[in-house]
Structure 1
Amino acid sequence: MRTRTPVTRRLLGAVAVVSALALGATACGSGGTDDGSASAGPKDLAAALEKGGKVTVWAWEPTLKKVVEDFEKKYPKVDVELVNAGTGDKQYTALQNAIAAGSGAPDVAQIEYYALGQFAIGKSVENLAPYGADELAPGFTPGPWNAVHRDGAVDALPMDSGPMALFYNKKVFDQHGIAVPTTWDEYVEAARALHKADPKLFITNDTGDAGFATSLIWQAGGRPYRSKGTDVTVDFGDQGTRTYAGTWQKLLDEKLVAPISSWSDAWYKGLADGTVATLAIGAWMPASFVSGVAAASGDWRVAPLPQWTKGSTASAENGGSSLAVPKAAKNKELAYAFTEFATTGEGASARVAAGAFPATKADLESPAFLDAPFPYFGGQQANRIFADSARNVGADWSYLPFQVYANSVFNDTVGKAYVSSTTLTAGLNAWQETSVKYGKDQGFTVDK
Structure 2
Amino acid sequence: MSSSSSDHRAAAPAVGPAAGTSRRSLLRLMGAAGIGAAATGALSACAPGSSAAPKALGSTVPTQAKGTATLWFRDDDLLKVFRGVVPSFTKKYPKVTVKLVGVDIDTKLPPALISGAGVPDGSFFGDGSVLGQAEHLTDLTAQMSKYRADTVQYKLDSNTSDGRLVGIPWDTDPGLLYYREDILSAAKVDPSQLTSYDALLDAAREIKGRDAKARPIPLEQDPNLATQWLMMLVNQQQGTGLVDAKGKLTLDTDAFRTALTWIKKVADEGLGARSKFAGTAQIAQADGGTVSLVPWAIWYNFLVQGTFKKSTGHWRVGQLPAWTPGGARSGVMGGSSFVIPAKAAEPDLAWLFYEHAVYSPEGYKAVFGSNSVYPNGLNTALPSVKSALDPASPLFKPLPGLGNQNLWEVGTKASLAIPAGYRIPSWFTQAATTYLGPNLQKLMDGKMSVADVIKKSTSDIQTNLVDRA
Q: Which position in structure 2 is the counterpart of 1:329?
A: 344
The one-letter amino acid paired with 1:318 is M
The one-letter amino acid paired with 2:364 is A
Q: Which position in structure 1 is the counterpart of 2:82?
A: 64
Given that 1:117 and 1:402 are in contact with CA atoms closer than 8 Å, whether structure 2 keeps it comes out as: no
Task: Name which of 431, 439, 443 aligns with 1:417.
Answer: 443
Q: Which position in structure 2 is the counterpart of 1:6?
A: none
The one-letter amino acid paired with 1:168 is Y
* Deviation larger for 303-312 or 67-76: 67-76
Given that 1:221 and 1:239 are in contact with CA atoms closer than 8 Å, whether structure 2 keeps it comes out as: no
The one-letter amino acid paired with 2:268 is D
Given that 2:137 and 2:342 are in contact with CA atoms closer than 8 Å, whether structure 1 keeps it comes out as: yes
Tell me whether 1:276 sits opposite 2:258 in the alignment.
no
CA shift, 1:378, in A, is: 1.6
Tell me whether 1:392 sits opposite 2:403 in the alignment.
no
Task: Name which of 152, 165, 175 aligns with 1:164.
Answer: 175
Q: Which position in structure 1 is the counterpart of 2:101?
A: 83
Tell me whether 1:430 sits opposite 2:456 in the alignment.
yes
Task: Name which of 380, 383, 394 aligns with 1:358.
Answer: 383
CA shift, 1:295, in A, is: 4.3
Tell me whether 1:343 sits opposite 2:358 in the alignment.
yes
**SS of the residue 1:367 aligns to:** coil
Given that 1:217 and 1:223 are in contact with CA atoms closer than 8 Å, whether structure 2 keeps it comes out as: yes
* Deviation larger for 371-380 or 264-273: 371-380
- 1:278-301 superposed Cα distances (whole Å, 9 cap, x missing partner): 221223433442122254321001
Q: Which position in structure 1 is the counterpart of 2:106?
A: 92
Tell me whether 1:18 sits opposite 2:44 in the alignment.
no
Q: Which position in structure 2 is the counterpart of 1:140?
A: 151
Note the residue ranges of structure 2 that are not aligned, 5 or more in a row: 1-35, 44-54, 370-376
- 1:89-112 superposed Cα distances (whole Å, 9 cap, x missing partner): xx2222112233431222222222
Tell me whether 1:246 sits opposite 2:261 in the alignment.
yes
**SS of the residue 1:220 aligns to:** helix
CA shift, 1:47, in A, is: 4.9
Given that 2:239 and 2:421 are in contact with CA atoms closer than 8 Å, whether structure 1 keeps it comes out as: no
**SS of the residue 2:270 aligns to:** coil
- 1:11-47 superposed Cα distances (whole Å, 9 cap, x missing partner): xxxx98731489xxxxxxxxxxxxxxxx946443415
Distance in 2 between residues matched to 1:218 and 1:111, nearest whole Å: 21
- 1:268-319 superposed Cα distances (whole Å, 9 cap, x missing partner): 2222222211221223433442122254321001111011113434421111
CA shift, 1:118, in A, is: 0.9
1:78–1:41 CA distance, 2 compared to 1 (3 A): closer
Q: Which position in structure 2 is the counterpart of 1:307?
A: 322
CA shift, 1:324, in A, is: 0.8
1:420–1:242 CA distance, 2 compared to 1 (3 A): closer
1:78–1:314 CA distance, 2 compared to 1 (3 A): same
Distance in 2 between residues matched to 1:70 and 1:159, nearest whole Å: 18
1:17–1:338 CA distance, 2 compared to 1 (3 A): closer
- 1:134-182 superposed Cα distances (whole Å, 9 cap, x missing partner): 2211111222232223443211111111111101111111122223222
Distance in 1 between residues matched to 2:211 and 2:232, nearest whole Å: 29
- 1:101-133 superposed Cα distances (whole Å, 9 cap, x missing partner): 43122222222222221111xx01111123x21
Distance in 2 between residues matched to 1:430 and 1:81, nearest whole Å: 47
Q: Which position in structure 2 is the counterpart of 1:32?
A: none
1:69–1:370 CA distance, 2 compared to 1 (3 A): closer
Given that 2:68 and 2:99 are in contact with CA atoms closer than 8 Å, whether structure 1 keeps it comes out as: no
CA shift, 1:370, in A, is: 8.0
* Deviation larger for 334-343 or 279-288: 279-288
Distance in 1 between residues matched to 2:82 and 2:272, nearest whole Å: 36
Given that 2:439 and 2:448 are in contact with CA atoms closer than 8 Å, whether structure 1 keeps it comes out as: no
Q: Which position in structure 2 is the counterpart of 1:28?
A: none
Distance in 2 between residues matched to 1:248 and 1:421, nearest whole Å: 13
Given that 2:177 and 2:293 are in contact with CA atoms closer than 8 Å, whether structure 1 keeps it comes out as: yes
Q: Which position in structure 2 is the counterpart of 1:293?
A: 308
CA shift, 1:333, in A, is: 0.8
The one-letter amino acid paired with 1:64 is F
1:343–1:288 CA distance, 2 compared to 1 (3 A): farther
Distance in 2 between residues matched to 1:55 and 1:402, nearest whole Å: 28
Tell me whether 1:212 sits opposite 2:229 in the alignment.
yes
Given that 1:348 and 1:358 are in contact with CA atoms closer than 8 Å, whether structure 2 keeps it comes out as: yes
CA shift, 1:441, in A, is: 5.1
The one-letter amino acid paired with 2:144 is A
**SS of the residue 1:259 aligns to:** strand
Q: Percent identity?
A: 23
RMSD over aligned Cα, in angstroms? 2.6
* Deviation larger for 75-84 or 135-144: 75-84
The one-letter amino acid paired with 2:409 is R
The one-letter amino acid paired with 1:128 is L
Given that 2:237 and 2:328 are in contact with CA atoms closer than 8 Å, whether structure 1 keeps it comes out as: no
The one-letter amino acid paired with 1:247 is W
Given that 1:172 and 1:274 are in contact with CA atoms closer than 8 Å, whether structure 2 keeps it comes out as: yes
TM-score, normalised to structure 2's length? 0.79
Q: Which position in structure 2 is the counterpart of 1:185?
A: 198
CA shift, 1:244, in A, is: 0.8
